[in-house]
Structure 1
Amino acid sequence: MSTLGIIALLTLLYWLYITFDVHKGIHLLHTLPKSTKLPDKPPLVSVIIAAKEEESTILETVRHLLSQNYPRLEIIAVNDRSQDATGVRLEELRKWSKHKTDIQTPLQIIHITSLPEGWLGKNHALYQGYQQARGQYLLFTDADIIFAPGTISDAVTYMKENDVQHLTLTPNMVARSTLLRGFVHFFLFSFSLFVRPWRANLDSAREPGIGIGAFNMVSRSAYEAIGTHKSIALRPDDDLQLGISLKRAGFRQKVLSGKHILQVEWYRSLKEAIIGLEKNLFSGFRYSYTIALLACLGQLIFFIFPWLGLFFLWDWRGAAYAVAVILQIWLYRKLMFRLMSKRGDEAFLLPISASLLLYTIVRSVWLTWKQGGINWRGTFYSLRELKKK
């Protein structure tokens, strides 16, 4: 059998295995249920937001949080060294909310002007928010998330009723163009196949864990037990690492779909998405060139080659690749619907999206190597420092 034939056969076996594995486990991934009744003594929830140059989105996010129907809530917005009008907008919103009799939620603003050594800006900002928080539960979220009014009520009720220490939710991801939507959704698709987020819902397993920046709600005791954000001070993928640390420590974790109550426009353009992801993709491979190389080969062999084989091979190898493509499309549409109620109509863009992600991974590794580190939110961190942490 030729080398190409062996690759075609392995690719088909890979997609058959992945299809079986997803079909077996995806039933564990549910949608967050709507609460019918709050606990008798609702715990105080502290919402902590880190914002840097977020003047275009922060107001809408905080306004939606102020409109939550949960009775015991405090919001702590941390302005992380912003050079735009983020801080001004937050102060205006705080003054406005104080004079609204129908808004009982305290809004606290923290302005950070300098960054100590050994911290990434966002991680430091979230930690500063935690130090001011009084809540029994901490909700770490991003500055561009839109919350439905009952989001926090539903989350707290679920956590209390199911004895969950960490709840993370997948949001509905909005994209302005078809190509951007295809790329963003493909990133979520390939990430899901790699991490298998539904496995985090198995109480018997310590690995893998997961955390999503749009919604990471954790009990204060669990957060403190893993060392807070101090333990992940230099991780660009802090949201994911928070979930991994909590799961590894044995705390009960659940990942659910929040497609009906959370919405985010992750990036506004394809160029912005590539630039945004190339900053932190290499960190997801632990800054290992070997792991990054294997990831690139995986994208090439399992996601791109099947489409090339489908069009250019007219023998059994082409037939094997054709089956792999069908399985790839089916899984993509199934996961998009499960996670975000999307039909996955952009599945025809899968080879293009996979090629763009491959390009982004290569650029992430190359830029980190060329610079000797990463530039993150206006600060440079050496690769030696990042690997040490």
Structure 2
Amino acid sequence: MSIAGIAALLILLYWLITLAEYLRGMKLLRELPPSGPLSDPLPLVSVIIAAKEEESTIRDTVRHLLAQDYPRLELIVVNDRSQDATGSTLEELKKWSQTREEIRIPLRIIHITALPAGWLGKNHALYQGYLQARGQWLLFTDADIRFRPETVRDAIHYARLEQADHLTLTPTMTTRTFWLRSFIHHFLFSMTLFTRPWRVNRDDLTSGGMGIGAFNLIRRQTYEAIGTHKAIALRPDDDLQLGASVKRDGHRQRLASSRGLLQLEWYPDMHSAVRGLEKNFFSGFGYHTLLAAAAGAGQLLLFTFPWIGMLLHGDWRSLVHLLSVLITIRLYLKQVRLVSGKPSTDALVIPISAVMLVYVLLRSVGLTLRQGGVYWRGTFYPLSELKKMKGR
């Protein structure tokens, strides 16, 4: 048997195993259920946002949060050294909210003007918000998320129902163009195959935990037990690592689909997506070049090679590759429905999306190595310091 034939069979074997695990695992992932009446006593929830140069999005995000129908909520927004109108916009929002009788959610603004050594800006800002928070539950979220009014109410209900110490929700992703949508969907699909998110909901495991930056709801005592953001002070993937720490320390964790209660436009265009991911993509591989190279090769082998082989061979190998492609498309469509709530035709360009993702990965590795570190929100962090934090 030729090497090409062996490769085709091995790829199909991978997809068959993945299909079985995926279909079994996805049964553990649920949509966030509606809450109905909440039982007293209701815990105070502190929503904490880190905002840096977010003048274009922060107003809508804050207004959506001030419209939450959960009765015990406080909102803390940390202006992290912004050089645009973020700070003044937040102060205007605070004054506006104080004049509206229907808004009973207190809004506090923290302005940070300097970043201490040993911290990424966002992590430091979220930690400062925690120091001012009074809630028994902390909700860490981003400055560009749109919340439906019932989001926090439903989340607290579900967390208490599941006796969870940490609840993270997948947002519904919105995009403006076909190619951006296909790229983001493929990126999230690849992450799902790598992280196996259903492992979050298995209480018998202490590995496989994760968090999503759009919605990390955690008990205050659990947050303190895992070391707060101090323990992940230099992690660009702070949201993922927060969840990983919860699971690793044996606390109860849940991941659910927000069923459209959270809306996120991750990037406005393809250029922004490339520039955004190239800053931190390499960090997902612990800044290990060989691991990143293996991931790039895996992308091409699993997502691009079968499509080419399906068209080229003209014998049994083409049929084997066709089976791999059909399994890939089925899993992809299930994942897209989870993050966008509807099917998409971008499954037809999976091999192109994979090449685009490898390109961004190469840019991320090259840029980080060439600079000797990462520029993150206006601050440079040496690679040696980042690797040291990865080892903790």
TM more than 0.5: yes
Q: Does 1:95 align with 2:95?
A: yes
Name the structure 1 match of 2:238: 238
On the 8 A contact 2:173/2:339 being kept in 1, the answer is no
**2 CA distance for matches of 1:215 and 1:370?**
34
Name the structure 2 match of 1:68: 68
Name the structure 1 match of 2:177: 177
Name the structure 2 match of 1:249: 249
C-alpha displacement of 1:259: 3.0
- SS of alignment partner, residue 68 of structure 1: coil
Name the structure 1 match of 2:141: 141
**2 CA distance for matches of 1:133 and 1:216?**
15
Name the structure 2 match of 1:209: 209
Name the structure 2 match of 1:300: 300
**2 CA distance for matches of 1:381 and 1:51?**
19
Name the structure 1 match of 2:278: 278
C-alpha displacement of 1:101: 0.5
1:319-330 maps to which residues of 2 (within 5 A)? 319-330=319-330
- SS of alignment partner, residue 31 of structure 2: coil
Amino acid at match of 1:98: Q
- Deviations along 1:47-69, one digit per CA (max 9) or x if unpaired, are 00001111000000000000000
Name the structure 1 match of 2:38: 38
Name the structure 1 match of 2:120: 120
- SS of alignment partner, residue 103 of structure 1: coil
- SS of alignment partner, residue 342 of structure 1: coil
Name the structure 2 match of 1:190: 190
1:306-325 maps to which residues of 2 (within 5 A)? 306-325=306-325
Amino acid at match of 2:31: T
- SS of alignment partner, residue 251 of structure 2: coil
**2 CA distance for matches of 1:339 and 1:88?**
34
Amino acid at match of 2:286: R
On the 8 A contact 2:45/2:139 being kept in 1, the answer is yes
Name the structure 1 match of 2:332: 332
Amino acid at match of 1:178: F
**2 CA distance for matches of 1:340 and 1:26?**
16
Amino acid at match of 2:241: Q
Name the structure 2 match of 1:3: 3
- Deviations along 1:246-270, one digit per CA (max 9) or x if unpaired, are 0000110000000320000000001
- Deviations along 1:311-358, one digit per CA (max 9) or x if unpaired, are 222122221111111111111011222343221221112111111111
**2 CA distance for matches of 1:366 and 1:9?**
33
Name the structure 1 match of 2:23: 23
On the 8 A contact 1:165/1:252 being kept in 2, the answer is yes
On the 8 A contact 1:53/1:82 being kept in 2, the answer is yes
On the 8 A contact 2:174/2:340 being kept in 1, the answer is no
On the 8 A contact 1:257/1:340 being kept in 2, the answer is no
Name the structure 2 match of 1:57: 57
Q: Does 1:290 align with 2:290?
A: yes
Q: Which moved more, 1:232-241 or 1:34-43?
A: 34-43
On the 8 A contact 2:12/2:320 being kept in 1, the answer is yes
On the 8 A contact 2:55/2:84 being kept in 1, the answer is yes
On the 8 A contact 1:39/1:160 being kept in 2, the answer is no
Unaligned runs of 5+ in 1: none
Name the structure 2 match of 1:153: 153
Name the structure 2 match of 1:110: 110
Q: Compute the RMSD of aligned alpha carbons.
A: 0.8
Q: Which moved more, 1:50-59 or 1:310-319?
A: 310-319
Identity %: 59
If the length of structure 1 is used for normalisation, what is the TM-score? 0.99
